[in-house]
């Protein structure tokens, strides 16, 4: 056994670089161990290791990894003891405690035993074990180790989530297809699971027809995690800025919030008995995929009560530098709270936004104390859903949103069953969705297709037996986009839906056109996109774009892309543009986020040219744009 271990294990005695650090704590130990409370320990508890006893920590690796044990934190009160460290029953090192006693008080005094040794271990399940020689006892606080796999997460290390070693099988399509599409890496890191930071545009100048297919993840999981996770999403809170306990007039000339600056006007330059403050701030808008610079706001003003009437006025400067005077109002004696509504499309995302708040009192002796001044996004009404077609095979619904991110844009949906004259149109739609009956349920329908006004399409296979619904995940923008856009979009003006034949005729704002045929089977849902017409130069505009989310392995909607069923790449690696006939976004590692959301496969079916063109080769000469982790499109003159 020792001989076999030595074949694939390399004893590491130098410190690792470019690694991740994890600690094994007393609470991670396997088995029925003796646990003691110690206030000086990292977690408040320790594992008691008696003479001749062992304590083990189990962990998993997703690939071949060097495990480098740095040190062990322990305590001892009594005679010296010797402890041995094993990785998979291979002796790595040992350390000895000192012969010290203080009638039990030293159990709460911890020291480090430096190890700095390790092994290269294969993918799979492993055991780190500590064994105390015959003697007294030690108490173990933690074992600290470095791992060479920089994408190893705590969930993967704890074996809570598993990664597969095999690649998904993809059946070969049109092997005689002369033209290949080119996929480019335009993703960026994020800590927010509600942000689509994965962006893979695909370019093919002569594209005529392609398919997009959704299937269950290639990994096996019996979990159906499907809730939102907003941890790390700093942009989601509705409050833009807050100031508290501001005294007017004041010797303090300015206050700062994380995202705004308040300036107090000099009293000598003001009209008699006036107090004025200006707040300057920036907001994110459509160019970053946000609505804050477009949607309206609520300004909340809370003052300490005064014994006189206080007249107030709010003026805002925002879009195009325009000035908007809002209706004046007054605080009556003892009145404290006012809310001021600021209309939609007031703010700017390119210029500084300014709120000017003026108070006028009846005498110059009055002091105004603003207990709180807060600007926040106005409340949004719930989405409104309207069923526009129903039979035993299909449900079509249109959805209206209070404020769509591309507002004031929206699309028109026309229901034309089999081209019959009783067509009906619906304006102002943000997105529509299609549901199919679940075969193993007598009453249930499940959503399988959603198309948004920005061209984004979500596909989903029917839920497996025993589940009511599973979540969407990775999406594809159907239509020509600008690869420079932070949040790509292909805005749609009109969609005509033939629900009998499951065909959608799509007209875009820029004059482009596409036909989408929806095919739903038990094991997959597929769309075939054909009859494409583009007004752009498609040698520099993607015809489709993958969008997904990746925080870390085990916490993503997509962690890998495979091209032509052969070469796969991590979704966050800096790979150069890759050509192929099929592109699949999938997950090697089981995800705690939207666990059963689908793998998405895009296949090129038909192209324009009958011989090989090399129009795509200039895209291999890309530059890494400043401030981005991945290679992006670079325009050529």
pLDDT at 6 over 60: no
Q: What totals of helices (H) and strands (E) does the chain contain, helices first?
A: 2, 44
Band of the pLDDT at 268, cuts 50, 70, 90?
A: low
End-to-end CA distance of the chain: 64
pLDDT of residue 172: 64
CB 217 within 8 A of CB 587: yes
CA atoms within 13 A on the CB side of 86: 16
Q: What is the DSSP string of 60-92?
A: EESS-EEEEEEEEEEE--BS--EEEEEETTEEE
Give the three-state DSSP class for 542: coil
pLDDT of residue 168: 83
How much is the pTM?
A: 0.85
CA atoms within 13 A on the CB side of 624: 10
d(CA 228, CA 236): 12
Q: CB within 8 A of 259, min separation 6: which ones? A: 240, 241, 281, 282
Q: CB within 8 A of 70, min separation 6: which ones? A: 15, 21, 114, 115, 116, 144, 145, 146
d(CA 345, CA 170): 47
CATH top class, domain 239-377: mainly beta
pLDDT of residue 43: 93
**In the chain, how long is the greatest CA-to-CA distance?**
95
Lowest mean pLDDT among 245-254, 305-314, 414-423: 414-423
pLDDT digits (tens, 9 = 90+) for 439-468: 888 889 999 999 999 999 999 999 999 898
Please give the average per-residue pLDDT across 408-430, as a whole number. Answer: 87
Nearest alpha carbon to residue 606 among 92, 189, 30, 209? 209
- Both structure tokens of 146: 């470095």
Ranges of beta strands (E only) in 148-233 are 181-183, 198-203, 207-215
Band of the pLDDT at 16, cuts 50, 70, 90?
A: low
Nearest alpha carbon to residue 380 among 358, 365, 400, 395? 400
Band of the pLDDT at 420, cuts 50, 70, 90?
A: low
pLDDT of residue 15: 60
pLDDT digits (tens, 9 = 90+) for 107-164: 999 999 999 999 999 999 999 999 999 878 999 999 999 999 999 999 999 999 989 8
pLDDT at 548 over 60: yes
d(CA 564, CA 414): 37
Give CATH 2.60.120.260 domain extents, the chain. 2-157
Residue pointed to by tokens 């010290």: 100
Band of the pLDDT at 612, cuts 50, 70, 90?
A: very low
- Both structure tokens of 338: 């006012």
Residue pointed to by tokens 């934190």: 73
CB 96 within 8 A of CB 80: yes
pLDDT digits (tens, 9 = 90+) for 50-90: 989 999 999 999 999 999 999 999 999 989 999 999 999 99
d(CA 279, CA 256): 9
pLDDT of residue 609: 75
pLDDT at 472 over 50: yes
Q: Which residue has the higher pLDDT, 416 or 210?
A: 210
Nearest alpha carbon to residue 205 among 539, 579, 619? 539
Classify burial at 223, counting beta carbons within 10 Å of its beta carbon; exposed 0-12, middle 13-18, buried 19 or more.
exposed
CATH code of the domain made up of 2-157: 2.60.120.260
pLDDT of residue 271: 65
Classify burial at 208, counting beta carbons within 10 Å of its beta carbon; exposed 0-12, middle 13-18, buried 19 or more.
middle
pLDDT at 419 over 70: no
Q: CB within 8 A of 77, min separation 6: which ones? A: 100, 101, 102, 103, 104, 105, 106, 107
DSSP state of 591: -
Please give the average per-residue pLDDT across 191-213, as a whole number. Answer: 96
d(CA 528, CA 494): 19
Percent of the chain with pLDDT strictly greater than 70: 89
The C-alpha angle 241, 242, 248, rounded to 5 degrees, equals 125
CB 615 within 8 A of CB 166: no
Task: Give me the chain's average pLDDT, please.
Answer: 89
Rg (alpha carbons) of the chain, rounded to whole number:
31
Lowest mean pLDDT among 353-362, 370-379, 396-405, 604-613: 604-613
Q: CB within 8 A of 576, min separation 6: which ones? A: 185, 620, 622, 631
d(CA 156, CA 555): 10
Buried b (16+ CB within 10 A) or exposed e, 7-22: eebeebeeebeebbeb
């Amino acid at each position: 056994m020792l001989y076999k271990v030595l074949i694939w294990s390399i004893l590491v005695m130098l410190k690792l670089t470019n690694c991740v650090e994890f600690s094994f704590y007393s609470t991670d130990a396997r088995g029925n161990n003796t646990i003691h409370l110690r206030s000086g320990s990292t977690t408040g508890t320790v594992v008691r290791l008696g003479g001749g006893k062992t304590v083990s920590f189990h962990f998993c690796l997703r690939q071949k990894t060097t495990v480098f044990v740095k040190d062990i934190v322990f305590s001892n009160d009594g005679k010296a003891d010797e402890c041995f460290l094993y990785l998979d029953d291979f002796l790595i090192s040992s350390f000895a405690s000192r012969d010290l006693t203080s009638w039990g008080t030293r159990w709460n005094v911890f020291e480090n035993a430096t190890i700095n040794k390790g092994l290269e271990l294969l993918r799979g399940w492993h055991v780190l074990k500590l064994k105390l020689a015959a003697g007294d006892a030690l108490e173990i606080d933690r074992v600290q180790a470095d791992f060479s796999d920089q994408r190893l997460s705590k969930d993967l290390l704890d074996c809570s989530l598993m990664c597969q070693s095999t690649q998904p099988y993809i059946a070969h399509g049109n092997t005689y297809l002369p033209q290949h599409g080119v996929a480019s890496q335009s993703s960026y890191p994020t800590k927010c699971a509600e942000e689509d930071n994965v962006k893979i545009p695909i370019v093919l100048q002569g594209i005529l027809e392609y398919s997009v297919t959704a299937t269950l993840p290639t990994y096996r999981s019996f979990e159906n995690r499907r809730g939102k996770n907003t941890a790390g999403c700093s942009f989601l809170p509705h409050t833009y800025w807050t100031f508290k306990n501001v005294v007017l007039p004041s010797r303090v000339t300015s206050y700062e919030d994380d995202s705004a600056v308040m300036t107090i006007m000099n009293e000598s330059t003001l009209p008699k008995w006036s107090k004025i403050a200006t707040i300057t701030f920036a907001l994110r808008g459509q160019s970053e995929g946000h609505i804050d610079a477009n949607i309206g706001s609520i300004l909340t003003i809370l003052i300490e009560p005064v014994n006189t009437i206080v007249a107030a006025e709010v003026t805002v400067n925002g879009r195009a530098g325009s000035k908007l005077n809002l209706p004046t109002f007054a605080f009556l004696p003892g009145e404290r709270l006012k809310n001021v509504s600021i209309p939609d499309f007031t703010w700017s995302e390119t210029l500084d936004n300014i709120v000017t708040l003026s108070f006028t009192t009846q005498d110059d002796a009055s002091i105004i104390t603003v207990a709180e001044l807060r600007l926040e996004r106005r409340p949004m009404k719930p989405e409104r859903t309207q069923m526009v077609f129903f039979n035993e095979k299909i449900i079509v619904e249109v959805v209206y949103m209070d404020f769509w991110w591309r507002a004031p844009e929206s699309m028109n949906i026309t229901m034309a069953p089999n081209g019959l004259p009783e067509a009906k149109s619906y304006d102002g739609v943000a997105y529509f969705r299609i549901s199919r009956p679940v075969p193993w349920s007598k009453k249930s329908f499940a959503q399988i297709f959603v198309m948004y006004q920005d061209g984004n399409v979500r596909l989903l296979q029917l839920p497996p037996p025993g589940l009511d619904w599973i979540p969407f995940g990775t999406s594809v923008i159907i239509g020509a986009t600008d690869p420079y856009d932070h949040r790509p979009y292909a805005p749609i003006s009109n969609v005509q839906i033939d629900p009998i034949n499951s065909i959608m005729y799509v007209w875009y704002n820029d004059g482009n056109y596409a036909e989408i045929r929806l095919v739903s089977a038990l094991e997959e849902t597929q769309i075939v996109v054909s009859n494409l017409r583009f007004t752009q130069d498609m040698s520099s505009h993607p015809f489709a774009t993958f969008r997904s989310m990746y925080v870390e392995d085990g916490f993503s909607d997509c962690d890998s892309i495979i091209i032509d069923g052969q070469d796969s790449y991590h979704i966050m690696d800096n790979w150069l543009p890759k050509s192929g006939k099929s592109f699949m976004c999938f997950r090697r590692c089981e995800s705690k986020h939207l666990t059963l959301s689908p793998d998405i496969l895009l296949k090129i079916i038909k192209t324009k040219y009958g011989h090989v063109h090399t129009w795509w080769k200039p895209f291999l000469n890309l530059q890494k744009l400043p401030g981005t982790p991945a290679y992006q499109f670079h325009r050529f003159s």
